């Protein structure tokens, strides 16, 4: 298995090959990856099919083996009975049959052992292939995401480059934003002060006009105050 | 599910109780991209684009050329350190541009995107301010 997607990105960075517009993901890489996964999947399907076939054969051999063993046991009984009757010739004939069964049993046992070894091998092969496929599928998702994020961020960069926004340096931008924020704050504060003054003034005027608040700041009121004081002391 | 046409319309209509709103433009190109300006932060537009899995919001901070060369490594380290505590956004590099970006699941709703945009915009201003000693 080759480099994973992050290793590829780091290799590109170390090689200095991250210029804008440069494709990190080879256009063919995804297609190749997808083909590899497809091949892996069909290998897996074939291995699974083989496995069922071999398992069926193993079971068949197993059935034959038990059938043969039964037959051997049965015929051994016949031999004993023939010997009991003193029929040596019949016993020999049956023994010949048993030898035949035993030969067949040996063949079937050998075949079953082979099938079982094959089953073991196929099972571990299927497990490995499945693990490899899972890993590849995970990587493909990462590669595809990297690719689409790259395309999206490239589209963004392209638009950014065309927008003329980069005419300003970051510091100039910051200064403008800060100046604008300060101006807004100043304007809000100034508005607040003005509003307070206007409202305060007009309210006082109204109160004075209606006589609720006496005009006690003029010369007239000062004179009245002094006169009142004199009258008190007299 | 966030889709660029719908996002564009929703953002254009948006206005919060403090008068914050967005100026949205749909950009030409093979991949649907929006340019969004948060009012008051016109110099740092945010670009929105999406893939099957996620919505990407990107704000360009500065070009590598704006960085004092002798302080580049130190700045990169500072950015990696800031990455973790920075709310919702992360630093990144696209080509020669340093960016701050956020990624949302494509199944997010518009309120989450608005929150993301406002946060990203504030993070961009704060980041440039914090990093200005490293800039020429």
**Cα–Cα distance between A214 and B37 in angstroms, integer?**
56
User: Cβ(B25)–Cβ(B17) under 8 Å?
Assistant: no
Q: Which residue of B has its CA nearest to A23?
A: B95
- What lies within 8 Å, CB to CB, of A5 at 6+ separation is A139, A142, A143, A146
| DSSP per residue, chain B | ---HHHHHHHHHH-B-TT--BEEEEEEPSSS-EEEEEETT-TTS-EEEEE-SSEEEEEEEEEEGGGB-GGGHHHHHHHHHHHHTTSSS-EEEEETTEEEEEEEEETT--HHHHHHHHHHHHHHHHHHHHHHGGGB-
Q: Closest Cα of chain B to A169: distance in Å?
A: 7
For residue A168, name the pLDDT band (cuts at 50, 70, 90). Answer: confident
For residue A32, name the pLDDT band (cuts at 50, 70, 90). Answer: confident
User: Cβ(B8)–Cβ(B26) under 8 Å?
Assistant: yes
For residue A27, name the pLDDT band (cuts at 50, 70, 90). Answer: low
List phi, psi (to 5°) of A9. Answer: -65, -45
Residues A179-200, mean pLDDT to the nearest whole number: 81
Domain borders along chain B are: 4-131
Q: What is the DSSP letter of A103?
A: H
In this complex, the residue of A148, A156, A170 whose CB is nearest that of residue B58 is: A156
- Predicted interface score ipTM higher than 0.85: no
- Evaluate if residue A23 carries a pLDDT over 60: no
Residues A88-102, mean pLDDT to the nearest whole number: 94
A20 neighbourhood in chain B, CB within 8 Å: 94-97
* pLDDT the model gives residue A215: 64
Distance of CA B49 to the CA centre of its chain: 11
- Degrees, nearest 5: CA angle B28-B32-B37: 80
Question: Are B135 and A170 in contact (CB < 8 Å)?
Answer: yes
**Cα–Cα distance between A52 and A59 in angstroms, integer?**
10
Three-state secondary structure call for residue A26: coil
Tell me the Cα Rg of chain A. 51
For residue A197, name the pLDDT band (cuts at 50, 70, 90). Answer: confident
Mutation target for B interface from A9, A152, A167: give the one with most B CBs within 10 A: A152
User: Cβ(A50)–Cβ(A62) under 8 Å?
Assistant: no
Single out the residue of A128, A145, A129, A132 nearest to residue A30, CA to CA.
A145
Q: CA of A217: how far to CAs of A22, A202, A222, A225, in Å?
A: 81, 17, 7, 11
Poorest-pLDDT segment among A53-67, A105-119, A164-178: A164-178
Residues A83-88, mean pLDDT to the nearest whole number: 93
Report the greatest alpha carbon distance in chain A.
173
B57-71 residues labelled b (16+ CB within 10 A) or e (exposed): bbbbbbeeebbeeee
Three-state secondary structure call for residue A225: helix
Interface residues of chain B, partner chain A, Cβ below 8 Å: 27, 29-31, 33, 35, 40-45, 47, 49-54, 56, 58, 60-63, 66, 93-97, 99, 125, 128-129, 132, 135-136
Residues B64-74, mean pLDDT to the nearest whole number: 94
B128 neighbourhood in chain A, CB within 8 Å: 170-171, 173-174
* pLDDT the model gives residue A188: 82
Give me chain B's average pLDDT, please.
89
Class of domain B4-131: alpha beta
B129 neighbourhood in chain A, CB within 8 Å: 174, 178
Q: What is the DSSP letter of A25?
A: S
pLDDT in tens, B76-109: 999 999 999 888 999 998 878 899 999 999 899 9
* pLDDT the model gives residue A12: 65
User: Cβ(A48)–Cβ(A126) under 8 Å?
Assistant: yes
Q: Closest Cα of chain A to B99: distance in Å?
A: 10
**Cα–Cα distance between B23 and A168 in angstroms, integer?**
19
A/B interface, count of CB pairs below 8 Å:
101
- Evaluate if residue A179 carries a pLDDT over 70: yes
Three-state secondary structure call for residue A23: coil
In this complex, the residue of B41, B52, B135 whose CB is nearest that of residue A171 is: B135
pLDDT in tens, B30-47: 677 888 999 888 889 898
Q: Closest Cα of chain B to A206: distance in Å?
A: 34
Q: Which residue of A has its CA nearest to B95?
A: A20
Q: Closest Cα of chain B to A190: distance in Å?
A: 18
**Cα–Cα distance between A90 and B52 in angstroms, integer?**
83
- Evaluate if residue A1 carries a pLDDT over 50: no
**Cα–Cα distance between A109 and A112 in angstroms, integer?**
5
In this complex, the residue of B43, B49, B125 whose CB is nearest that of residue A156 is: B49
């Amino acid at each position: 298995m080759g480099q994973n997607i992050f290793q590829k990105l780091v290799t590109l960075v170390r090689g200095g090959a991250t210029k804008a517009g440069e494709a990190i993901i080879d256009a063919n890489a995804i297609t190749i990856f997808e083909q590899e996964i497809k091949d892996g999947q069909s290998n897996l399907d074939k291995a699974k099919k083989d496995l069922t076939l071999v398992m069926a054969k193993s079971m068949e051999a197993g059935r034959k083996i038990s059938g043969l063993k039964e037959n051997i046991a049965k015929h051994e009984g016949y031999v004993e009975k023939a010997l009991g009757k003193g029929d040596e010739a019949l016993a020999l004939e049956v023994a010949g049959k048993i030898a035949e069964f035993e030969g067949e049993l040996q063949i079937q046992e050998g075949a079953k052992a082979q099938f079982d070894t094959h089953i073991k091998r196929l099972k571990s092969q299927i497990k490995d292939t499945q693990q490899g496929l899972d890993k590849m599928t995970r990587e493909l998702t990462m590669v595809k995401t990297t690719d689409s994020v790259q395309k999206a961020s490239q589209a963004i960069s392209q638009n950014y480059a065309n927008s003329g926004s980069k005419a300003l340096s970051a510091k100039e931008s910051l200064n403008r934003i800060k100046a604008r924020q300060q101006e807004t704050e100043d304007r809000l504060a100034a508005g607040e002060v003005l509003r307070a003054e206007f409202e305060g003034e007009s309210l006082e005027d109204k109160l004075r006009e209606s006589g609720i608040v006496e005009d006690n700041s003029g010369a007239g009121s000062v004179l009245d105050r002094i006169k009142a004081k004199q009258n008190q002391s007299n | 599910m966030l889709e660029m046409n719908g996002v564009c319309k929703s953002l254009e209509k948006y206005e919060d109780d403090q008068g914050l709103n967005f100026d949205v433009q749909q950009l030409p190109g093979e991949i649907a991209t929006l340019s969004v300006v948060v009012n008051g932060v016109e110099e740092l537009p945010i670009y929105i684009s999406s893939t099957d899995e996620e919505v990407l919001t990107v704000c360009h901070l500065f070009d590598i050329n704006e960085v004092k060369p002798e302080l580049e490594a130190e700045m990169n380290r500072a950015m990696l350190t800031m990455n973790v505590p920075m709310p919702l956004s992360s630093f990144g590099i696209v080509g020669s541009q340093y960016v701050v970006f956020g990624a949302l699941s494509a199944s997010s709703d518009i309120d989450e995107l608005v929150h993301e945009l406002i946060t990203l915009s504030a993070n961009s201003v704060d980041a440039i301010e914090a990093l200005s000693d490293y800039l020429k």
